[in-house]
Amino acid sequence: MLQDIRKNAQGTAAKIIIGLIVVAFAFFGIESILLGGGDNSIAEVNGEGISEFDLQQAINNQKRSLLTMMGESIDPAMLDDDRIRPTALDALVKRTLMKQMADDLALGVSEREIGAVVANMEAFQEDGAFSPERYRATLASAGYTPGLFKASLHDDLLVGQIGSGLVGSEFVTPAELAASVSVVTEQRDLRYLTIPRDKFLPDEPPTQDAVQEWYAAHSQEYMTEESVDLEYIELTPDDFRQPVPEDAIVEAFELSQQGIEYRPRSRVSHILFTGDGELGAEEGLARAQEALAEGTKFAEVAGMFSDDVGSASSGGDLGYTSGDTFPEEMEEAISALEVGEVSGPVKTDAGTHLILVTERTESSPPELDAELRAQLKEQLQLEEARAELLRVVEDLRDLAFNAEDLKGPARQLDLVVEEAEGVSRQNGPGVFEQQSLRTAAFSEEVLKNGHNSEVIELAAETFVVLRVLRHHEPELQPLEEVRASIEADLAEEATRRALQSEAEQLLARLREGAAIDALATEKNYQWQVEIAAERRNLTLPPEVLERAFELPIPEPGGSVSDITFTSNGDAVVVELFRVTPGTVAALSDAERSQLTQGLAGQSGGLVNAELQSAMRNRAEVVVR
């Protein structure tokens, strides 16, 4: 089939079609073909567009969050764009609706507020202080420019005002607080008797008949796991590494130096006056110059008067420049300054600056030493390997699509076919720890129809194509292979029945009026009493505490009781004999405040969720 397509593509008609497409691209741009016009929005919310770029940024942000939470153990399938796209788009729609509401309410965020948030973000700090270099590097690695990041942060803060306002406007009435306190700080008095599991272990192993009967009744528990044996081809850049000639390393080094002008690097601090602060630009400039003239350190003056909040917290430090980092007016002033010298007022589009050069270092070309040689060699080797890898992967996609097995494509491309046995839906050896590969192996196309899989791209530039050799349906394991497991199950079952029976007998006697301490003495069991146990009690076994707070409130002078089991298998008879409701008066001021804030926050969160739901129902949302 592919050969027919390739042959037909050489005909006159095909060449004419290709020529028309090229002309269309040249005159109208690719958007005219792919998007049908200049509007590249993929959704509209009340007439406001959401661009493909915004959606991709949201998808990338969710990927980074998933990687941060799960690390290398993450299933690559979870990072698939198509899988993340619906939730990312839904979040963008909600965000747009909230921003529209913020605009309708005329809410705003100042540049100073944005600067303060940026300066205090831990991701942009080094040694507890804001670092301009780290700020720019972190944004670049995340695909943001400073302007784009600040715009996104502006919208986040704007939308956050609505949620904060809802939470802040919520209040808790005395009746609501009292009702909550009555439950949350309720105290319960109880007694409990523990029946040790170890006292009811069987003395004799189960009989052969019992084992056979259990084996027949629970056969589904002793089935083998469905699995497949696979053949596969795995490709990584390491498979295509080749020696790098010395002259290639030298040439790469020389090319890396071409066009580079080695100039002095100056470390710069500034004080910016925009007029957005409490003082006007002129008054701020005058007071700053006066303070500097009196001998106040530049860093202190920056902290007091600079309208650039991001750098003011670090003494106005902007990092290094080689003459092309800052606006032309600033660079001219910097080049004319000596180290430690403060400039006069320098005007740029951002405002008026006072500039200080704090450090200046000469820059010279590097030498081709052993370390740099190794770096260039690794870089060249990896570049060539990656290029060859992608070429072979494309060839493998075509060949594997039409091949009956993987051996033919492997021979044509000089690749190695490997085998893996016992790959199940839940786990597999080596590369088959990846869920995406196991999903492909058990897909209908591969498992039922017997086709080769697609070439699947994994993390770390790894590609795998696979084929099922043998399919192993679940089978009942021979009795002798599972006898030990059955005997353990029978022993556990017998122990559990004996414990349950003993606990039920003691519970019946307790409900008939026997005292729990007398029952414990009679049976030589341990018993305890707990007075004023609260829900956060840490001394009681958690199962006992949970059951005690599940029991209904007893009648005055009476008790209620039940059975529970601890995590180690012991049975426990629990007797609840008194419940004391919590009261507001018993709370400290701090506890009352904390509980009130928590209740208000919960209520505000519910209101916020209902608001977003109502806005979504009323909105006109169009997804293309």
Phi, psi of 312 (to 5 degrees): -60, -35
The contacts of residue 88 (CB under 8 Å, 6+ apart) are 55, 58, 59, 61, 62
Instruction: Supply the CATH classification number for the domain 2-168.
Output: 1.10.4030.10
The contacts of residue 242 (CB under 8 Å, 6+ apart) are 381, 384, 385
Phi, psi of 365 (to 5 degrees): -60, 145
How many other C-beta atoms lie within 10 A of the C-beta of residue 238? 12
CA 540 to chain centre: 36
Q: Which pLDDT does position 384 carry in this prediction?
A: 92
Low-confidence spans in the chain with pLDDT less than 50: 1-38
Q: What is the dihedral of CA 409, 414, 415, 417, to 10 degrees?
A: 70
CATH architecture under which domain 261-361 falls: Roll (3.10)
Helix (H, G, I), strand (E, B) or coil at 606: helix
- CA angle centred on 75, ends 71 and 78, rounded to 5°: 100
Structure tokens that stand for 391 in this block: 């070429």
8 A C-beta contact, residue 233 and residue 465 = yes
Structure tokens that stand for 144 in this block: 């943001």
Q: Which pLDDT does position 28 carry in this prediction?
A: 38
DSSP character string of 107-172 = ----HHHHHHHHHT-GGGEETTEE-HHHHHHHHHHTT--HHHHHHHHHHHHHHHHHHHHHHHH---
DSSP character string of 290-331 = HHHHTT--HHHHHHHH-S-HHHHTTTTEEEEESSSSS-HHHH
Q: How far apart are CA 350 and CA 356, in angstroms?
A: 17
CA 314 to chain centre: 31
Please report, for residues 74, 94, 119, 148, 360, the alpha-carbon distance to residue 159 in angstroms, rounded to integers and kept in the order given: 31, 10, 20, 17, 43
How many other C-beta atoms lie within 10 A of the C-beta of residue 521? 11
DSSP character string of 190-218 = EEEEEE-GGGG--SSPPPHHHHHHHHHHT
DSSP character string of 548-573 = HHHSPPPPTT--EEEEEE-TTS-EEE
Structure tokens that stand for 5 in this block: 């397509």
Q: 45 - beta bridge partners?
A: 48, 621
8 A C-beta contact, residue 285 and residue 299 = no
Indicate the DSSP class of residue 450.
-
Residue from 197, 222, 199 nearest 486 by CA: 222
Q: Which pLDDT does position 18 carry in this prediction?
A: 41
Q: Which pLDDT does position 500 carry in this prediction?
A: 96
8 A C-beta contact, residue 298 and residue 342 = yes
End-to-end CA gap in the chain: 34
